[in-house]
Amino acid sequence: MTQIQGGCLCGAIRYTSAAQPLMTAVCHCKHCQRQSGTAFSVLVALPAGTLELQGEAPATYQDRGESGLAVMRHFCGKCGSPISSQVEAMPGMDWLKAGTLDDASWLQPQVAIWCDHAQPWVPLGETMAQFPKNPPPQA
């Protein structure tokens, strides 16, 4: 895989990462639904600190997950595009929003998480592991 690169809708924030993804996931939690404005978010988990940002500094919204732990949601303050999140319940990973990738042709989600919050009209399929909430650490 080549270097990961992408950015927000207006181009004010760009990013790169040379890291290999730790996992790719489809998240059906209510917070991802609200942030994305649709039924789920597609995410690429990268080792924490390997996402290099250029341009404008992202705005941050401190959310709370169902666990009560912090979820730092980073987005473009100009166009509103969500860029990444850090989830205190899953340390060591930065969760990149896959819709911001310049080239997502390589992306193949491995797991579906928070499936107990999935919209009933979204088929979950049978080609990936499914978890009712967060996956166990070894997934």
Residues 6+ apart with CB under 8 A from 64: 70, 71
pLDDT at residue 138 tops 60 = no
Domain 4-118, CATH number (from 2.60.40.1190, 2.170.150.70, 2.60.40.1230, 3.90.1200.10): 2.170.150.70
Check: CB of residue 76 under 8 Å from CB of residue 30: no
Q: What would the pLDDT profile of 52-82 be if each residue is shown by its tens digit?
A: 999 999 999 999 988 888 999 999 999 999 9
Report the candidate in 41, 6, 39, 43 with the shortest Cα–Cα distance to residue 24. 43
- The residue extents of the domains of the chain are 4-118
Q: Could you tell me the pTM of the whole model? A: 0.90
Share the mean pLDDT of the chain.
Answer: 92
Check: CB of residue 103 under 8 Å from CB of residue 111: no
C-alpha distances in Å from residue 120, one per residue of 1, 5, 42, 114, 124: 34, 33, 18, 13, 9
